[in-house]
Structure 1
Amino acid sequence: MPPDLDPIVVHHLVNTLGWRDLRPMQRAAIPPIRGSMDALLLAPTAGGKTEAALFPLLSRMAEQRWTGTSVLYLAPLKALLNNLQPRIERYAGWLGRRAAVWHGDVSTSRRRAVLFERPDILLTTPESLESMLVSTKVDHRLFFADLQAVVVDEVHAFAGDDRGWHLLAVLERLTRVAGRTLQRIGLSATVGNPGELLTWLQGSGAGSRPAQVVAPDVVAVVDRPPPGDIELDYVGSLANAATVIAGLHAGEKRLVFCESRQTVEELGQLLREKGIRTFLSHASLSVDERRRAEQAFSEARDCVIVSTSTLELGIDVGDLDRVIQIDAPGTVASFLQRLGRTGRRPGSSRNCLFLTLDGDALTEAAALLQLWARGWVEPVNAPPEPRHIVAQQVLALCLQEHRVGDQLWTQAWNGLPPFGESGRPIVRHLVEQGYLDQDGGMLFIGPAAEQRFGRRHFMDLTAVFTGPPEFTVLTGRNELGRIDPSLLTEEVRGDRRLLLGGRSWRVTYIDWRRRRCFVEPADGGGRARWRGSGWAYLGFELNRAMRDVLLGADPPVAITRRAAARLAEVRAEKAHLVHPGGTVIVREKDGDLRWWTWAGFRANATLTATLGEVVDPVERFDDCSIRLREDLTPRAWRSLTADVADRLCLPEVDEKALVGLKFNAALPTRLATATLAARLADLDRAAMVVDEPARFLVT
């Protein structure tokens, strides 16, 4: 054992945990963390990242005699925090220290205990952390006065969307509250740009604080498992997938990933009908339902749990034998996370069986496995121009401090762009619209903010995302989960039946005012649906890999006979849509003209906005192609697109789309529209596409 850990920690590693040594990543993490450096620790799922961060932090805590709440442990999911709490409490207890959890599901009495006892390690989410900063019941300056370090688990899950901007902004405000620079330690699965991710995590300290990426095991993450352990199959329907799952791997514990909640529900019901012991997990099931399922699954052997990406992160569901994927995850990074759920037992290896339901899904899965086999993983990049988060942060700062100088508010984020001078037009708009009041050179919360965000102690302001309205489903007093309201409003003959938790329920009463729906068990016929479920943009690299597959490339995995046969059919069907030397413009027999760019949604959105003179005004584009005007000729195409690389522009945004941008009402419409347009654009990939030869074909 390394001598630079506290002797008590070393004693318990050997005698309590029975460890002979640390893993390479855990050993490599000790010097930078003991040396107060910022760090990014990379390892696969169950790679010991939590221990790699905490053991040197606990050693510093003992050596330097930290007092009060000195370490924050942040994670994106409350369930992950609940899962980690016993483990972290155990480690802290070795040194007579305490850990506690704080989030929206923690009872009032437990929160009072946390405030009174000030645990050494606090496990929370960024949203709950901000709630503490703005709460009138928390003396945040006293509570965080002794803070020294922040650990951000699954940091890649934050960085790729607006929760990442929110996290960075809250950490900057927390730095000012604590009155010292806080050490930042990120824990992540494999990403394509670890150095950039660490720089992002450092926030305003990037370039001025020492930092290190710790990733000695990364090569092992991307290396392929033994031949045959990754298998690609085609089954044609969800019912067939259930038959395959029910017939394979009897006596083993299987985790099945689906890309939508509706698919989880339907597959769960199909498996139960076949007598398979089945559990479900997705975001619209109640906390108690998910917890019961995950606990029962972790303790069982011959069973299946069907899940969305909720079980992709580090929640422990016990020792798995198999991972099965319905269709394909949207990214290589997700596949690596899911693959890392298996192979934890000595003598076992990582494995995954893909069961694809149609030809497009089969092509996408083969393409994703091609990228994985090349060792490629998506870079994690923060979404550009988060003006709506700037508006939210200014309002939250005014709640936290009550009154803020109208010239000094920019200091709260320590110079972190874009929470600085560039935000002044946003602050002017907040004042003009009544979200902020201004008096005597001070800013404070105005009546419009009270009206729009003030419910439940401004909880709406601290939550960066708002999901679509859903109805809570109850059987008796027990909450089952939430459903899309359209299931309660559409016309039906006979009983109205829902599918939730893999079981059918008959609706007995609907409380429209309180958005509650009461049910009782039914013998079948239930339906599941959620708005916006199961669809996401496909990126440039995945689209280009799909083109490679259609051109004949096979991933180096086991491919079943029926998958190979179906893939051959798809290649024959789409042979005219791909060319190895560039893009293809195809005029179909019905006269439709479509440009097959294989460039991804964002690049196609950019090209569509730029080429208004040649793009069909009605049905415009998708991930793979752009529909062009029917009367376009090859000559006109060459003339109208000759200078396109020099005039690429941002995509157009319908104002109706602003509903999906939380806090858009706190922005001028032009700035909210500009934010969405920047996020829809891919100028670099669009420029690459227009530089490629485009061939006209007539079928």
Structure 2
Amino acid sequence: MDVFSRYAPFIQDYIYSQGWQSLRAIQQAAGDVIFNRDDNVLLSAPTASGKTEAAFFPILTLMSEEPPASVGCLYIAPLKALINDQYQRLSDLCHEPGIPVWRWHGDVAQSQKRKLLRHPSGVLQITPESLESLLLNKHMDIPNLFGDLRFIVIDEIHSMLRGDRGGQTFCLIERLAKLAGCHPRRIGLSATIGDPRAAGQFLAAGTDKGTIIPKIADTHEVWRLSMEHFYKDPVQAGDDAQERDAQPVLAAATDKAPTMADPGLAYVFEHTRGKKCLVFTNSREECEAVCQSLRAYCEANHEPDRFMIHHGNLSTAFRQTAEEAMRDDNSLMTTCATATLELGIDIGRLERAFQIDAPFTVSGFLQRMGRTGRRGDPPEMWFVMREEHPESRAMLPEFIPWPLIQGIALVQLYLEERFVEPPRTGRLPYSLLYHQTMSTLASNGEMTPAELASRVLPLSYFQNITQEDYRILLRHLIEIDHLQQTENGGLIVGLAGERVVNNFKFYAVFQENEEFSVHAGSEELGTIVKPPPVGDKIAIAGRVWVVEDIDRQRHQVYCHEVKGRIPAYFGDVAGDIHPRILERMQKVLAEDKQYPYLMVNASARLREARETARVAGMFNKPLINLGGKMWCLFPWTGTYSFLALERLLRLKCAPRLGLRGFNSVRPYYMEFSMDASEDEFYQIIAEEAAKDFDPLDLVFENEVPVFDKYDQYVPDELIKKGFAQGVLDINEMRHCVQRMIKSRS
């Protein structure tokens, strides 16, 4: 069909005003299925391909032709910044037909929210947490608000596929539809879907509709990609190379500021000058440290400060300042960021992105690279891998540059196979089960246990949880006064439960540290965890501050700025690394392939690592003797199967192997001493892995492995079961053991 002709006149006018010569493939395909079918739709296409318009042009056309009697389209996004960004674009588009566009999140004025409740209409943009708040606190308004809801658009849906926040989102969608008596179509948007079929099933769960995934012609992607390696001292792996690349490997700033010389960051410093760039790091601590160093280079070289910072612990003012500067096409500032800028906020025309070390996922790599390359230019990503020189007495694993090998594996998996991490299934999300139980009961009032179970257990995200598990949970919650049983046998929220539910932090299911807001005079800088004693220094907002006073009752820290650089601390960041990445890392070491994006130092460091692995025999021997009874095991498997293998060795194999001194660097290698021989090791681990044991056998005695936010309110037996059966990847661990045995033959 001619999709353009089907669009409403105001949409056609908008397209003309933008100067578009034709519709993009994703817009043609999306219009066809949204106009002519009644299924859910998953739109997967590269960043800046026009997915948002592809979804909203037909949705707004249909809404203008037959105005809904309530909110007609619910747009769910993972970040407030993404909502704010899309709000302006949608408002401009909807101005002529008079379709209202609303926002509902913590920064929106109450007057706007009250106006929506009085006149429910148009498009509502919301985060999962604000949707939770809406269902909990405006329960009676839901039928009026959403009774004629036609569409739910879920942006950046890939970010919802591997954790409880996505589970929460889909639970809320199901609860809302049932309460409002509506049957909206779901439209998922993402640039990084690795398994469209699995993602489509996830999107459609709990509906009576299938998911259509329009096939878009695979356009030839052009990337500007480089990867360089640096030791954190002047001597580099590529110093003996005969041919040098045209780009300077050691930046001039190293010589100008020798007291702060970090060749990797000097390289970033030089190649961001006169450009608008992003520098991605994998943690808030690293983000602060990198920003401090880059600003120190500015000061040492008598240059104006040209670096900003953006991460989740900064105040709204600091984040918005960085976002506004990035939208300014005349700005030449560089922003150091974490995953907060990984998703689809329009941050203008960025010239290049840098990545310090390798991200954990292919999805993260693609999202971060996709921040650049808008407005006709190809995406551009410069990887910067940094490590300390291993000491001469270091053990074998320390001679392998793990971030460099991981970065190559991420890139190659996508180039060769278009691999992106699939949805994470098979979990037992007891933490979220607690959360949705309390939310459902708090919003509905007294319910019998059977009524409560009938509302919560049928939610598709809880399909693996049994009725017996739920009975165990409810009995436990009554015992700890999170639930209270009435004289009639009904259940209400107990006094202890009210303290949890009535706290605004209840709306979020992701783990939050106990945070203190940091103030310098009248300026709020952001938040930190576990503030140090008065007189000690902290790092936040890319600068260093001395703590003057701590108000623990109000969770506030007061400080003043000083010179210098120190480490920052905000809490641990865990990496969920898929088994395919580790398998490809092993292949990177074993193959002779040259990768065209490797720069001089990185190529030299890879040659060194391959020679180290070849001499050690790592290609066909996962178990390497380090001398005497000391051994190192390279399983080449993902985070959760690695964790299962650790426990198999320590809890099942240790007595037979004479195992001791166990140490692991997840998910790369394990070091230990043992009395058994190499042959005995393989025989014993194969026998133990093949046994039909209870997954709970891999939980240590007296261990209660609390991982998720509300695990502390879940009975120990369910916590252990959720960890053993839903976190430990025992099937993949068994495949890993089989591969190790096979590699020796």
Which residues in structure 2 correspond to 1:365-384 (within 5 Å)? 365-374=407-416, 375-382=418-425, 384=427
Kindly state the Cα deviation for residue 248 of structure 1 after the two structures are TM-superposed. Answer: 2.1
Residue 660 of structure 1 is matched in structure 2 by 707
Kindly state the Cα deviation for residue 654 of structure 1 after the two structures are TM-superposed. Answer: 7.5
Counterpart contact for 1:279–1:304, Cα < 8 Å: yes
Counterparts of 1:61 and 1:236, CA distance in 2:
58
Counterparts of 1:693 and 1:466, CA distance in 2:
36
Which residues in structure 2 correspond to 1:590-669 (within 5 Å)? 591-611=629-649, 612-615=651-654, 616=659, 618-621=661-664, 622-643=666-687, 644-647=689-692, 650=695, 651-652=698-699, 658-669=705-716
Which residues in structure 2 correspond to 1:44-59 (within 5 Å)? 44-59=46-61
Render the CA deviation track for 1:366-416: whole Å, top value 9, x for unaligned: 222221221222212246111221121111111111122332234435563
Counterparts of 2:713 and 2:455, CA distance in 1:
19
Residue 407 of structure 1 is matched in structure 2 by 450
Residue 519 of structure 1 is matched in structure 2 by 559
Residue 231 of structure 2 is matched in structure 1 by 236
Give the letter aligned to residue 348 of structure 2. G
Counterpart contact for 2:448–2:490, Cα < 8 Å: yes
Which residues in structure 2 correspond to 1:288-299 (within 5 Å)? 288-299=317-328
Render the CA deviation track for 1:90-121: whole Å, top value 9, x for unaligned: 22223211111111222333322332332411
Residue 285 of structure 1 is matched in structure 2 by 314
Residue 571 of structure 2 is matched in structure 1 by 531
Give the letter aligned to residue 631 of structure 1. D
Kindly state the Cα deviation for residue 143 of structure 1 after the two structures are TM-superposed. Answer: 2.0
Residue 372 of structure 2 is matched in structure 1 by 342
Counterpart contact for 1:470–1:483, Cα < 8 Å: yes
Kindly state the Cα deviation for residue 17 of structure 1 after the two structures are TM-superposed. Answer: 2.5
Higher alpha-carbon deviation: 588-597 or 135-144: 135-144
Counterparts of 1:285 and 1:653, CA distance in 2:
38
Over 3 Å counting, the alpha-carbon distance change for 1:574 and 1:546 in structure 2 is: same
Kindly state the Cα deviation for residue 328 of structure 1 after the two structures are TM-superposed. Answer: 0.8
Higher alpha-carbon deviation: 56-65 or 104-113: 104-113
Counterpart contact for 1:586–1:696, Cα < 8 Å: no
Counterpart contact for 1:161–1:382, Cα < 8 Å: no
Render the CA deviation track for 1:571-608: whole Å, top value 9, x for unaligned: 33333555444x42122125312222112332222223
Gaps of 5+ in 1: none
Counterpart contact for 1:255–1:322, Cα < 8 Å: yes
Over 3 Å counting, the alpha-carbon distance change for 1:91 and 1:424 in structure 2 is: farther
Higher alpha-carbon deviation: 603-612 or 334-343: 603-612
Counterpart contact for 2:589–2:613, Cα < 8 Å: yes
Counterparts of 1:412 and 1:137, CA distance in 2:
14
Residue 604 of structure 2 is matched in structure 1 by 565
Counterparts of 2:426 and 2:284, CA distance in 1:
25
Counterparts of 1:193 and 1:26, CA distance in 2:
21
% same residue: 28
Over 3 Å counting, the alpha-carbon distance change for 1:376 and 1:639 in structure 2 is: closer
Counterparts of 2:3 and 2:193, CA distance in 1:
28
Kindly state the Cα deviation for residue 194 of structure 1 after the two structures are TM-superposed. Answer: 1.1
Counterpart contact for 2:120–2:144, Cα < 8 Å: no
Over 3 Å counting, the alpha-carbon distance change for 1:373 and 1:571 in structure 2 is: same
Residue 255 of structure 1 is matched in structure 2 by 278
Over 3 Å counting, the alpha-carbon distance change for 1:269 and 1:6 in structure 2 is: same
Render the CA deviation track for 1:459-483: whole Å, top value 9, x for unaligned: 2332212311122111222211112
Counterparts of 1:680 and 1:555, CA distance in 2:
36
Residue 543 of structure 1 is matched in structure 2 by 582
Counterpart contact for 1:40–1:198, Cα < 8 Å: yes
Give the letter aligned to residue 165 of structure 2. R
Residue in structure 1 matching 2:294, options 271, 291, 306: 271
CA RMSD of aligned residues (A): 2.6
Counterparts of 2:183 and 2:327, CA distance in 1:
40
Residue 225 of structure 1 is matched in structure 2 by 222
Counterparts of 1:163 and 1:270, CA distance in 2:
34
Give the letter aligned to residue 9 of structure 1. F
Kindly state the Cα deviation for residue 44 of structure 1 after the two structures are TM-superposed. Answer: 1.7
Counterpart contact for 2:11–2:57, Cα < 8 Å: no
Q: Secondary structure at the match of 2:624?
A: strand
The answer as to 2:492 corresponding to 1:444 is yes
Counterpart contact for 2:45–2:191, Cα < 8 Å: yes
Q: Secondary structure at the match of 1:619?
A: strand
Give the letter aligned to residue 303 of structure 1. M
Over 3 Å counting, the alpha-carbon distance change for 1:459 and 1:693 in structure 2 is: closer
Which residues in structure 2 correspond to 1:22-171 (within 5 Å)? 22-34=23-35, 35-135=37-137, 139-171=141-173
Gaps of 5+ in 2: 233-260, 388-400
Over 3 Å counting, the alpha-carbon distance change for 1:604 and 1:658 in structure 2 is: closer
Residue 197 of structure 2 is matched in structure 1 by 195
Over 3 Å counting, the alpha-carbon distance change for 1:648 and 1:8 in structure 2 is: farther
Give the letter aligned to residue 408 of structure 2. A
Render the CA deviation track for 1:399-453: whole Å, top value 9, x for unaligned: 11112233223443556352676334323333343322233253221223123x0
Counterparts of 2:735 and 2:26, CA distance in 1:
38
Over 3 Å counting, the alpha-carbon distance change for 1:411 and 1:53 in structure 2 is: farther
Counterparts of 2:636 and 2:4, CA distance in 1:
54
TM-score by length of 2: 0.86
Give the letter aligned to residue 543 of structure 2. R
Residue in structure 2 matching 1:319, options 326, 336, 349: 349
Over 3 Å counting, the alpha-carbon distance change for 1:417 and 1:334 in structure 2 is: closer
The answer as to 2:633 corresponding to 1:589 is no
Kindly state the Cα deviation for residue 539 of structure 1 after the two structures are TM-superposed. Answer: 2.7
Over 3 Å counting, the alpha-carbon distance change for 1:679 and 1:437 in structure 2 is: same
Render the CA deviation track for 1:490-537: whole Å, top value 9, x for unaligned: xx9xx533221112223222212212111222233454222204x414
Counterparts of 1:508 and 1:149, CA distance in 2:
52
Kindly state the Cα deviation for residue 356 of structure 1 after the two structures are TM-superposed. Answer: 0.4
Counterparts of 2:187 and 2:509, CA distance in 1:
23
Counterpart contact for 2:293–2:565, Cα < 8 Å: no
* Alignment size in residue pairs: 679
Give the letter aligned to residue 63 of structure 1. E
Counterparts of 2:113 and 2:615, CA distance in 1:
63
Which residues in structure 2 correspond to 1:458-473 (within 5 Å)? 458-473=503-518
Render the CA deviation track for 1:172-211: whole Å, top value 9, x for unaligned: 1101111021211111122221111111121211xx3132
Counterparts of 1:574 and 1:148, CA distance in 2:
57
